[in-house]
Amino acid sequence: MNESRPETRSEYRGNLSGGSRALAENGHRTSGWQLLSTTLGPLLALCIVWLVFAFLDWTRPLGGTFAEVRSFQLIVVHTAAVAVPALGMTIIIIAGGIDLSVGAAMALAATVGAYGFLNGYPPAVAIGMCIATGLAAGVANGALISSLRVVPFIVTLGTMMVFQGVGRFLAGDTPIRPPRESFAVLDEFQAPFPTPAWQMFSPGVWVMLLLGILVSITLRYAVFGRHVFALGSNEATARLCGINVPLTRVAVYALGGLFAGIAGVYQFAALGEGNPMDGIGKELPIIAAVVVGGGSLSGGRGSVLGTLSGAAIMAVINHGCTTLNVGDMYQDILIGAIIIAAVALDQYRQRRMADK
């Protein structure tokens, strides 16, 4: 078998080089509008939402604070808290999965980190424990889904409760509050107005951007990224092409867990405590960020830029409503409506593309 390979291959080369060029010239022909409506759609929506709030605020007496740098700094800090775990969720959703346990995993990770700080471990160790906890939770999710062949919705629904219970057990059923000076490193991590001022944004925001770039590059340029998309758009094809489906799936959930662990650091930095109950309900805005950003729950679609925009849209709405003094309930209604509108718009676009 092996001896014959070079022969046939070279034969093919000969065949190939003789081919016509007609197709190459045709090249890329994605229209600008198409690019705008698919890849940049969520970003465009973000700009519109921001402009609407800026305008509404500007028309108020004594208004105009929304468009200031300070409010921008606040918005990005809130964005980062949701966007970091949502990056992991983006990978999971592209691979055709879902992780309901992400909030609980974040809270568990923050609790373990707090435990580390409480016991006076070096900051690097405590932060490492926090991230490793998230990673372990992700590996557990992936291993359970791959080995038991139960749908991820159910598995992660279960582990959500398990992680929360384990956290309460570790924390002795009360939030862990290490002394302030023990985690001085993280003091400024999620501070909206960092000193010195030239940093512009909190370190947490810069870390988010860095992670976003890394995930984006991985999805586009890594073999693993291609496998994730293959798995999400058609698992049978992935298997047929010799892709190691169980291993890829475990890696996907492990990455999701890793990001949940990093998000645990954010959560701990923001609150200064590790509370295993803090994760309740956190998974929903995270999933919403991915979905608003164009991720499809049936797998195969999603993007980092979209997810970051999705998280930012929700942060803008929150902050805008606060600035305008609009009650909490209106924020909820608005965000809920935007989630549905985003998916409906996406469906409409898909149908139109299918019709063509």
Partner 1 sequence: MQNSVADSLLAMQGISKRFGATQALADVSFSVRGGEVMALVGENGAGKSTLMKILSGAHRPDAGAIRVAGRTFAPGSPQQARDAGVAMIYQELNLAPELSVEDNIMLGREASRFGCLLRSRQRPRVEEALELLGHGELRPDAPVRSLSVGAQQLVEIARALVHDAKVIVFDEPTSSLTGHDVEHLFTVIRRLRATGRAIVYISHFLEEVRQLCDRYTVLRDGRVAGADALEGVSESDIVSLMVGRSVEELFPTVPHAPGDVLLSLDGLCGERFPIDATLKLRRGEILGVFGLVGAGRTELLRSVFGLDAVKSGRVRVCGATFSPAPRSAIAKGLGFVSEDRKGEGLAQGRSIADNLTYSRLQPYSTMGWLRLGARRAAVQRWMTQLQVKAQSPEQDIAALSGGNQQKVAIARVLHQDAHALLLDEPTRGIDVGTKAEIYRLIGQLAAEGKAVVFVSSYCPELLAVCDRIAVMSRGRIAAIRDTNEWNEHAIMEAAIATDEATGDDDERKSA
Which residues contact partner 1 by CB under 8 A?
1, 4-5, 7-9, 11-12, 15-17, 19-24, 26-30, 220-224, 226, 229-230, 233-234, 236-244, 300-301, 353-356
- Between the two ends of the chain, the Cα-to-Cα distance in Å is 45
Reference 306, options 318, 320, 289, 319; nearest CA is 289
CB of residue 134 vs partner 1: minimum separation in angstroms?
23
CB of residue 300 vs partner 1: minimum separation in angstroms?
5
The token duo for 121 is 């471990």
C-beta separation of 274 from 281 below 8 A: no
Q: Of the two residues 3 and 181, which places its CB atom closer to partner 1 in the complex?
A: 3
* Dist CA 160 CA 146 (whole Å): 17
CB of residue 20 vs partner 1: minimum separation in angstroms?
6
CB of residue 231 vs partner 1: minimum separation in angstroms?
9
From its phi and psi, is residue 329 left (phi > 0), alpha (psi between -120 and 50) or beta?
alpha
Q: Of the two residues 168 and 226, which places its CB atom closer to partner 1 in the complex?
A: 226
The 3-state DSSP class for residue 68 equals coil
Q: Of the two residues 28 and 197, which places its CB atom closer to partner 1 in the complex?
A: 28
Amino acid at 184: A
The token duo for 165 is 């219970």
CB of residue 117 vs partner 1: minimum separation in angstroms?
35
Q: Of the two residues 230 and 342, which places its CB atom closer to partner 1 in the complex?
A: 230
Can you name the residues that pair with 274 across neighbouring β-strands? 176
Angle at 238 between CA 235 and CA 240, to 5 degrees: 110
CB of residue 215 vs partner 1: minimum separation in angstroms?
14
Q: Of the two residues 168 and 239, which places its CB atom closer to partner 1 in the complex?
A: 239
Q: How many beta carbons lie within 10 A of that of residue 19, not counting itself?
A: 9
Q: Of the two residues 142 and 302, which places its CB atom closer to partner 1 in the complex?
A: 302
